[in-house]
A = this chain, B = another copy of it.
Amino acid sequence: MMKTSSPAALVRGPADHEVRDQIVLAATEHFSRYGYEKTTVSDLAKAIGFSKAYIYKFFESKQAIGEMICANCLSKIETEVKAAIDQADRPPEKLRRMFKAVVELSLQLFSQDRKLYEIATSAATERWLSTLAYEERVRIMLRGILEEGRQSGDFERKTPLDETVMAIYLVLRPFLHPLILQHSLDYTEDAPGQLSSLVLRSLSP
């Protein structure tokens, strides 16, 4: 979970190096305390006791560091959503829990870790790889539930799977996308229930 998942091309030098972890650690600390913008690369360098230039031996850019931290955040949410899904055994309930968990966990990050949430907002708005990958993984989760539900006979099988995945993803998206979520706060109470009910009705065989 705290595993440094890799947004590939943005990292440099030795893939597995103690200093890289130190940087990520320091960045997580600084970004979440002072915010991404207010933290300078020199701050991070000072924190780990090296020069700024050395940081660039490990990351292409400051944003690359931000991506890493953001990816960790999102992958933490993803893990917890998966856990929520696994608590249910039937696909319809899994879908309900997925909706509920996505909204709750995003909201939790928003209220408890505002500074990190702001990184996620930038990431989503500027389409960083970390976000694109996360979105894709959410669609895959969704597809998993749908496939299971089709197999178990809980869900209809006529509509092309890809289209169903996409449509449901679009329904969920306003609560996944950090920027949009901020403009949907009025609805976070009831939306997960109402929307998952609507979606489940649409999936009935």
Contact = CB atoms under 8 A, between A and B. Distances in A.
Interface of A: 124-125, 156, 159, 163-164, 166-168, 170-171, 173-174, 177, 179-180, 183-184, 187, 190-191, 194-195, 197-199, 201-203
Copies of this chain held together in the complex = 2
A195 B166 CA distance: 9
Give the dominant DSSP class at A's interface.
helix
A171 B116 CA distance: 28
A120 to B, nearest CB: 14
B183 A195 contact: no
Given A179-B183, A180-B180, A183-B177, A190 B202 contact: no
Given A125-B183, A202-B201, A195 B174 contact: no
A167 B197 contact: yes
Contact of A195 (B159, B167, B191, B201): B167
